[in-house]
Amino acid sequence: MSLEKFVKEHKTAFDDEKMPEAASLDFEARLKSALHPKETKVKSLKTIRYVSIAASVALLITFGYWYQNKQERIEMRDNLVLALGESDTNSSRLEAIYEIEDQFANEKEDEKILKAFFKILKADSDANSKIAVIDALLKFPDNQLVRNNLIEALGNETEPLVQLKLIKSVATLREQRAKAPLKKIIEDEEALPLVKGNASALLAMLNQ
């Protein structure tokens, strides 16, 4: 009810020397509301402002933690990738490979890590390091660069243990482009009979 309507309905009360107590209290409340309508709005605006500030601060803190964690993981990755290339011993290189696999196994393939792994496949590294790298790369079977490098390694590798691992890998991927390197292994007079046998079996499967 508006103040004007209230006064009209209680006109007789205003004609007396003193208004009834109940009407007086009601009138005072309505009069205060009519004269100071902005007080409630100001309080509401202040509340909204405080809530907005608190939300902004919380968002900044959350972003800060996320950014710090991201930077720490980037630094960890860079250190591990550096260790792959600078490791003086096969055991330290192998340890770095396993550490990368443990720390970044559930994340999307990282370009720097993949390049470091490809380099190990192409380099004159020990068999254990190459086998560990192949296992790590097989976690990204849909990555075209991974598939390309495994096929290339199959065509160039001469270490029997690594050859067998690569043959098994391209069999898992069912990669048709592996036919050429498989034929190369089969025709290689220095290749072990076990390696040739596995290569022949895979080639027959791919030709089906």
Residue-wise pLDDT for 49-87, tens only, equals 777 777 777 777 766 655 566 677 777 777 777 777 766
**pLDDT at residue 162, rounded to an integer:** 96
Indicate the angle between helix axes 193-207 and 179-187, nearest 10 degrees: 150
What pLDDT is recorded for position 6? 53
CA 52 – CA 56 distance, rounded (Å): 6
- In this predicted structure, what is the pLDDT of residue 161? 95
Residue 190: predicted pLDDT: 92
pLDDT at 185: 95
pLDDT of residue 58: 73
Instruction: Identify the segments of the chain with pLDDT beneath 50.
Output: 14, 16, 23
The pLDDT assigned to 166 comes to 97
What pLDDT sits at residue 99? 86
Residue pointed to by tokens 């050859």 = 163
Q: Report if pTM > 0.85.
A: no
Give the pLDDT of residue 74: 77
DSSP string, 22-68: HHHHHHHHHHHHHH-THHHHHHHHHHHHHHHHHHHHHHHHHHHHHHH
pLDDT score, position 32: 58
pLDDT at res. 105: 66
Q: Which residue has the tokens 């902004």?
A: 56
